[in-house]
Amino acid sequence: MAHVVVVGAGLGGTIAAYELREKLGSEHKVSVVNKGSRFHFVPSNPWVGVGWRDRAAIEVDLEKVFAKRKIALHAQGAKRLHPAERRIELLDGESISYDYMVIATGPELAFDEIEGFGPEAHTQSVCHVDHALMAKQAVDKLIASPGPVVIGAVQGASCYGPAYEFAFILDKALRDAKVRDRVPMTFVTSEPYVGHLGLDGVGNTKGLLEGELREHHIKWICNARVDKVEADKLLVSEIAEDGSVFKSHEVPQAFTMMLPAFRGIEAVRGIEGLTNPRGFILVDPYQRNPSFPEVFAIGVCVAIPPVGKTPVPVGVPKTGFMIESMVTATVHNIDQLIKGKTPSAIPTWNAVCLADFGDSGIAFVAQPQIPPRNVNWSSSGKWVHLAKIGFEKYFLHKIRSGESEPFYERLAMQALGIDKLKKVKIEPEA
């Protein structure tokens, strides 16, 4: 019997546990270590931030569904991984051992890297449902007492889609509340241009997003480094190509929501051979760690280099389709190893995204993720908003049922009409 332990039950870890359970026979054991027993659908957090969803709508109690699927849940969370000993130290002092481990612990949010930044200081966040609920209270205050708004993503961020989403969703919420005319809005981003998205743009994302920002009366500052946040303003340096400060801005704020830079969680940071200096897990093309061959990693916790040099550091986003491809490849490769074969599945890491703007949205497909590409497609319209709502319902229904599904693959192949977007490439057996 092999024991496979997934650490982290977010978007990647939960579907990995379901796929492992389906792929491996009942003679093998699948366990999950998570901080808590509840799954949150992170892509819905921007809606929670304006009160269009509450916690219950986007949360799933994993205890019952895991028990039904015969997946053991350790909800204490991991204190430290000990890959040399094939052991996970839990936060309550217990330890569990494994034959294979899949790390899916997502990001630690690096708010502390900027003075005055984060939900414990002067800005809001939608990265976690708890933050999004706090942001909702701040939105209510903003509606009661309108003032300037800043939305965006700081230096080193890698997740830009939700920043654009939240800008347009908040714009819609403020229009609905009839106070938008008293709220100047500025989009402040480390991207070198609007619509770069950490991917050097996809299709016409530059044109589409600039157009949307103009149409919604949202000004923007690119190449932005946030130096400090104060209760009523942000101190922002606009950085030139040569790295010098081109312009200094004092941007007034009554409400700010900016995506932070990410880093690996404490339980994995600084483990020689496992992580890079920011604590992201090093993997080979099979999602396998080169130093610890029984360790795989999926999702936001994986180390991926940026697409190119930019005046302000900009990371590569790790989105649903890409994460799903990492999951399917990892499950295939662990199954191969259990059967005494060599890993042969390589995830394609394509980017397929729907970004909701409250009453419309943009969609894009990048294949491969890094340009030049074979597919470099973007589109916009009301259909994106409706597709994203339908997708959320479908995803949560499947998570509640304990069924693994090629969610993003279906979206790419059916909703977006693309029939050749493969999640994984299987190498022929040697």
Ligand X SMILES: Cc1cc2nc3c(=O)[nH]c(=O)nc-3n(C[C@H](O)[C@H](O)[C@H](O)COP(=O)(O)OP(=O)(O)OC[C@H]3O[C@@H](n4cnc5c(N)ncnc54)[C@H](O)[C@@H]3O)c2cc1C
Binding residues (CB under 6 A) for ligand X: these are 7-13, 33-35, 42-43, 45, 77-78, 104-106, 126-127, 159, 161-162, 265, 267, 299-301, 319-320, 323, 353
Residue 92 or 215: the one with the smaller Cβ distance to ligand X is 92
Q: Provide the CA 46 distance to its chain's centre, in angstroms.
A: 12
Q: How far is the CB of 105 from ligand X (least distance, A)?
A: 4
Q: Is 222 a catalytic residue?
A: no
The residue length of the chain stands at 430
Beta bridge partners of 390: none
Determine the 3-state secondary structure of 336 from DSSP. helix
Q: Determine whether 144 is exposed, middle or buried from the number of CB atoms within 10 Å of its CB (0-12, 13-18, 19+).
A: exposed
Residue 159 or 274: the one with the smaller Cβ distance to ligand X is 159
Q: How far is the CB of 126 from ligand X (least distance, A)?
A: 5
Q: How far is the CB of 363 from ligand X (least distance, A)?
A: 11
Residue nearest to ligand X (CB): 10
Q: Is 353 a catalytic residue?
A: yes
Instruction: Give 264's DSSP letter.
Output: -
Report the alpha-carbon distance of residue 426 to residue 346 in Å, rounded.
6
- Residue 308's nearest CA partner among 153, 191, 162 is 191
Q: How far is the CB of 355 from ligand X (least distance, A)?
A: 7
- Which of 127, 222, 301, 353 is flagged as catalytic? 353
Determine the 3-state secondary structure of 46 from DSSP. helix
Residue 97 or 248: the one with the smaller Cβ distance to ligand X is 97
- Which of 127, 159, 222, 301 is flagged as catalytic? 159
Q: How far is CA 313 from CA 70, 173, 227, in A?
A: 43, 31, 14
Residue 96 or 239: the one with the smaller Cβ distance to ligand X is 96
Residue type, 153: A
Q: How far is CA 390 from CA 243, 387, 408, in A?
A: 44, 5, 12
Q: How far is CA 354 from CA 12, 281, 315, 381, 394, in A?
A: 18, 27, 19, 11, 15
Sheet holding 233-239, edge to edge: 224-229, 233-239, 245-252
Q: How far is the CB of 56 from ligand X (least distance, A)?
A: 17
Q: How far is the CB of 99 from ligand X (least distance, A)?
A: 19
Residue 265 or 387: the one with the smaller Cβ distance to ligand X is 265
Q: How far is the CB of 128 from ligand X (least distance, A)?
A: 8
Residue 233 or 356: the one with the smaller Cβ distance to ligand X is 356
Contact 268, 281 (CB under 8 A): yes
Report the alpha-carbon distance of residue 324 to residue 406 in Å, rounded.
7
Residue 160 or 220: the one with the smaller Cβ distance to ligand X is 160
φ/ψ of residue 41, rounded to 5? -85, 95
Residue 237 or 404: the one with the smaller Cβ distance to ligand X is 404
DSSP track, 383-429: HHHHHHHHHHHHHHHHHHHT----HHHHIIIIIT------SEEEPPP
Q: For tokens 């870890």, name the residue.
A: 13
Q: How far is the CB of 409 from ligand X (least distance, A)?
A: 12
Contact 345, 426 (CB under 8 A): yes
Q: Which residues are catalytic?
A: 159, 353
